[in-house]
Amino acid sequence: MLIGRLPVDEQVDALRAALARNEVLMEVLARAAKLGLPGWYLTAGCVFQTVWNVVTGRPPAEGIRDYDLFYFDDSDLGWDAENEVIQTGAHVFRDLPAVVEIRNEARVHLWYEDHFGVPCEPYTSTEAAIDSFAATTCCLGIRVDRDDRWRIYAPHGLADVFNLVVRPNPVLAPRSVYEAKARRWREQWPELTVLPWPEHAGDVP
């Protein structure tokens, strides 16, 4: 039976079991919890690509470029404040065989248009940032609270992640970003089913 067809609670159990097989991810998760960053999540490729690897029988960390650690702090939108967190993280994760990218999602609107060519309204939370990923399949974040309880944010569910379906999310990122990511992922995971960008969405949301 496909995991994506299981009841939601069983999908969550399957997600935790799959992620637990990536030792690097679990160590990043544990250390991130100790940083105490507001509204933080480990998110994006390191999460759903670990699942893809497990589902397809690959080593759990294969093909994962970096580990994205998002947080939200709008009390200081200056670069120096974010950079201080980044430097602290560099020290905390320095001995791991992984690149941990730390970003304050409260600042994304300050640089997004220069990087991607479309404006971005200020996010109101880390969850709002995750909602805007180019593919709904990517909209997945995890963290461990102080009592070791897992918090999983998956606004589009987990079925596509387990079923190896990449589905566009035309709310912010341009079509070109989605298609470039999808091509790269298909090279690494040819088992993926990539759904086309909806024509009515145009090239720019």
Band of the pLDDT at 201, cuts 50, 70, 90? low
Distance (Å, whole) CA 119 – CA 184? 24
C-alpha distances (whole Å) from 63 to each of 29, 116, 150, 201 are: 19, 24, 25, 30
Domain map of the chain by residue range? Answer: 3-201
Q: Is 87 helix (H, G, I), strand (E, B) or coil?
A: helix
**Model confidence pLDDT, tens digit, residues 33-79:** 999 999 999 999 999 999 999 999 999 999 999 999 999 999 999 99
Q: pTM of the entire structure?
A: 0.92
Distance (Å, whole) CA 130 – CA 123? 10
Distance (Å, whole) CA 16 – CA 13? 5
